[in-house]
Structure 1
Amino acid sequence: MEVESKSASRCTTERAKGTHVFEIVGYSLIKGLGVGEYVRSATFSVGGYDWAICFYPDGADQYAECVCVSVSLDSRGGRMGATARASCDLRLVNQDTGLPKSICSPAAPAMFNYRYHCRFFPGLGGAIFRSLLEQKESGYIKDDSLMIECVLTVIKQSEVVKTKGNSEIKVTPSKLSQHLGKLLLAEKGSDVTFSVGGETFAVHKIILAARSPVFEAELYGDMKERNEQCIMVEDMQPAAFKALLHFIYTDSFPGVDDTGDDDYTETIRHLLVAADRYAIDRLKLICQSILGKNLAMETLATTLALADQHKCDSLKDACIEFISSKDEMDALMATQGYTNLKRTCPSVLLDVLEKASKLRKT
């Protein structure tokens, strides 16, 4: 009698991708270090390894007429004999346009060894003629600063596992958020209505109460709204309340087209106020993150006042860092928002000036 056996296995290889920006302030002051000498970025982690960018202002080896950039495993956090397989895209950022340009982007991944930390190898680094780098038209150097962007993709170690046959049952992804989102749009089974700025929203008490302690107290506590079928909401825009409901039902942030407002950033400000009002902390953090990534000098004072009023310390710190990194305190003082902030929240300005001064000294 013949017994036949059958087995299977699977090899899985994954990758991890990360980006690090290395800003060199005072470019003219580091020229003259000597060929092969470099300044080093802070350590950053990608794919479970520590990495560093090295910048050679006077070139390296046979590239004396160039400036050179390399990326390597950081020996300070490396393990003896550790190697990593990765591909890197080293770029110089045009500070006039904000667009990066690659100076080293090998087609295939390379092997990195921490023993060769910050040694320049043409295959693992890039070079550009110093004359081209320093041309004003190139936009690479502005206010004596240079920005290097490194996009690193680490090929993680392959894993081999035994697999079963067709007996494996695949489980479909959860569609709970989609179903609740449809429930909000269909208004089926709604038991309370909110009136906001002339618009009405039919919703479900139990869902709002489960997501917000403020709604819970309002709808099931001793507040007068408990027995009302239509609740008036003052001092809130309909677009912000609509976005708030979308998050409550789906735990996802509405897209730009779903906010119903041409000024997306302004809607985010209103949504942050709504999230704070109803104690929806995760939504409040998301709004802070969006505003922190879209700071502009013209509206910075308005954002600062908003952060102070609603106790958004992370957003306030982002504003202060923006002022310090751009060194544009004079530009801020020229805005109308600064005048309003000076009149209504002088303590905020004092805090900003103190923290900005400390950041510039570090």
Structure 2
Amino acid sequence: MTHQMPSSKTVSTCVPQREQGTHLFHILGYSQHRAAGAPECIMSDKFPVGGHDWILSFYPNGTIGKGAHRFSGDCVVAALKLLHKNTMVRASWELRLLDQGTGPSLSVHKEVSRVFNTNEDSRFAVCVIKRKLFEPTTYLQDDRLTIECIVTVSKEPHVTGTISFPRIEVPPSDIAEHFGKLLETKEGVDVTFIVGGVNLTAHKMVLATRSPVFRAELYGPMREGGTEPIVVEDIHPDVFRGLLHFIYNDSLPPFDDLTEDDYGEMIRHLLVAADRFAMERLKLMCQSILCEGIRVQTVATTLALADQHHCDMLKDACIEFITSSNAMDAVAATPGYKSLKRTCPSVVIEALEKTSRIRKA
């Protein structure tokens, strides 16, 4: 059985933080601010946004500072300034003209996020507005102009605390348990086998699903009609019970009541049955058990079995055991070896040749 490695999943979230503020700057007597001799700059009071103070400057004649660049006469200039010293802020801003009537405000400038640094020229953000946009229009009525300044300050993102992601545990598959109970309760059985004079019942569909040999016998063109019991020759009832247990449970019975020698003999018989009914997983499982239990007294018997039923890996393991442990003389003295010489002489020759090569080396 493959066990899944335990795993965990945690989650944290980074959320951008922004704070937005809007400042309305009313300019009354607009024409007077444009008259000769009037101050070139009109400044709002400072206003806070995002924990910082800002100020909006408006230049109705399009001139900024002493001897500064003068824009064409058909333009006005507005500037947003970050106050305080040694301050750096990332922000975006938008400038709108407020309709003095009932219409919507008019956006005249919009700047995406940028850095305002009070130690550099970047403390200012400047925009130039065509005068014709609001002179004369409903944006300038009764010699009054209202500028709406929207500032959005980007702050340090907020990261949520780490939380454990919900996990839904899925229990191991229990399909074998359900099929095992099906065999145990005998509910719905539809086929009977006579094995060594013992009646054993099962379900045709289950057997056919697990073994191509059973499928051919029970559903193939050579199947016998009727519901007569099927006689199974040359297999012990306990071995057939073990075979059925594996078919339904995909595992071997516990065999707790068997001695070590009897257990090994049962596994050999199950290997033969697995080969007979083309159940490759059971056959490999039996080979693995026999491979782990190789010893001097049984290796020759196991080798003969492996050769007869085409278990190449088990056969190689037996020969390796005999040759690598210099146990050839001890193995040759066992009854199993005498039988092996009689039934499988080619295997004996193969083992002897390999032993000879090792000794020469």
Q: Could you state the TM-score of these two structures normalised by the residue count of structure 2?
A: 0.52
2:10 — aligned with what?
9
User: 1:162/1:281 Cα in 2 relative to 1: closer, same or farther (>3 Å)?
Assistant: farther
For the residues of structure 2 that align with 1:231 and 1:311, how far apart are their CA atoms?
28
1:134-193 deviation digits (Å, cap 9, x = unpaired): xxxxxxxxxxxxxxxxxxxxxxxxxxx96324xx44333321100000000111000001
For the residues of structure 2 that align with 1:360 and 1:249, how far apart are their CA atoms?
49
For the residues of structure 2 that align with 1:355 and 1:227, how far apart are their CA atoms?
55
Secondary structure of 2:218's partner? helix
Which stretches of structure 1, 4 residues or longer, exceed 4 Å deviation after superposition?
Answer: 258-262, 358-362
1:330-356 deviation digits (Å, cap 9, x = unpaired): 111112222221122111111222234
User: 1:307/1:262 Cα in 2 relative to 1: closer, same or farther (>3 Å)?
Assistant: closer
Matched, 1:354 2:343: no
Secondary structure of 1:194's partner? strand
Q: Output aligned runs, 1:50-199, within 5 Å.
A: 163-165=164-166, 168-199=167-198
2:285 — aligned with what?
286
Q: Could you state the TM-score of these two structures normalised by the residue count of structure 1?
A: 0.52
Secondary structure of 1:189's partner? coil
1:215-262 deviation digits (Å, cap 9, x = unpaired): 000000122445443111111011111111111111122222277997
1:318 — aligned with what?
317
For the residues of structure 1 that align with 2:225 and 2:343, how far apart are their CA atoms?
36
Secondary structure of 1:223's partner? coil
For the residues of structure 2 that align with 1:227 and 1:331, how far apart are their CA atoms?
55
Specify the code of the residue in structure 2 equivalent to 1:295. Answer: I
Secondary structure of 2:192's partner? strand
2:126 — aligned with what?
none
Secondary structure of 1:202's partner? strand
1:345 — aligned with what?
344
User: 1:186/1:286 Cα in 2 relative to 1: closer, same or farther (>3 Å)?
Assistant: same
2:244 — aligned with what?
245
For the residues of structure 2 that align with 1:339 and 1:188, how far apart are their CA atoms?
48
Q: Output aligned runs, 1:202-281, within 5 Å.
A: 202-225=201-224, 227-257=226-256, 263-281=262-280
For the residues of structure 1 that align with 2:164 and 2:236, how far apart are their CA atoms?
54
For the residues of structure 1 that align with 2:250 and 2:285, how far apart are their CA atoms?
11
Larger Rg: 2
Specify the code of the residue in structure 1 equivalent to 2:219. Answer: Y
1:8-59 deviation digits (Å, cap 9, x = unpaired): 839xxxxxxxxxxxxxxxxxxxxxxxxxxxxxxxxxxxxxxxxxxxxxxxxx
Contact kept? 1:307, 1:313, Cα under 8 Å: yes
User: How far 1:360 sits from its partner (Å)?
Assistant: 5.6
User: How far 1:211 sits from its partner (Å)?
Assistant: 0.6
For the residues of structure 2 that align with 1:321 and 1:236, how far apart are their CA atoms?
31
Contact kept? 2:208, 2:214, Cα under 8 Å: yes
Contact kept? 1:239, 1:261, Cα under 8 Å: no
**Gaps in structure 1 of 5+ consecutive residues:** 1-7, 11-160
Specify the code of the residue in structure 1 equivalent to 2:341. Answer: K
**Gaps in structure 2 of 5+ consecutive residues:** 1-8, 12-161
For the residues of structure 1 that align with 2:172 and 2:282, how far apart are their CA atoms?
23
For the residues of structure 1 that align with 2:356 and 2:339, how far apart are their CA atoms?
22
User: How far 1:198 sits from its partner (Å)?
Assistant: 2.1
1:127 — aligned with what?
none
Contact kept? 1:177, 1:250, Cα under 8 Å: yes
User: 1:356/1:338 Cα in 2 relative to 1: closer, same or farther (>3 Å)?
Assistant: same
Contact kept? 1:324, 1:360, Cα under 8 Å: no
Number of residues of Structure 1 aligned to a counterpart in Structure 2: 203
Contact kept? 2:242, 2:253, Cα under 8 Å: yes
Identity of aligned residues (%): 58
Specify the code of the residue in structure 1 equivalent to 2:272. Answer: V
For the residues of structure 2 that align with 1:360 and 1:282, how far apart are their CA atoms?
37
